[in-house]
Structure 1
């Protein structure tokens, strides 16, 4: 028995493709990407930003504050590496750096005492933490 041919072979392939429902349509893919990027933006907005007081460096009036670069541990003791007004300083405990004296060098922090504090009053301390 012979079957009658209806239409051309091109139209038959296009209409009878059993996998046509599984093909990815470019418009649907673009909309999925748009919603994904919108979700990422909303996640970024909800992330907790650091508080202003935590990120802002403590400024003492009239004295430039040294920036702590590193803490070196040697056989002679601990040394703090500071940058003050563009110059690098290597200071042990008790050394003077600008208008500060290195009070204590710990494992992750350095305590500085302001030298120009009032006599008899509580000395001003500055704690710098290394990362």
Structure 2
């Protein structure tokens, strides 16, 4: 305390103590809120990872079932055969068959092609009757 500081009054001291306590409480509240948010995010990430791991195991089992050759699949995806077999092992044959059938249905489904909307106005920078071409006209 320097000689220019005035001595603290009891009221000012109480105010500063209350202010410090309020700041400490706010920091603890923020820490608890942060903890809960991170924990919730971690739980969601763990759930997503479990789902992704299951989908990977099912995809491996389906690929092995479709190709019928673990060595070929291993070479195609650059994953060792033992690892592929380990991933596919927990998947039942019935579930692998369901995944294969789902893939077949997706493969048989006709692909939809997007067509430009006829009602869309032409770009403003084009003059009326002018069209957009991917390449400029070639002069011979």
TM-score normalized with structure 1 length? 0.31
Structure with greater contact order relative to length (CA < 8 Å, sep ≥ 6): 2
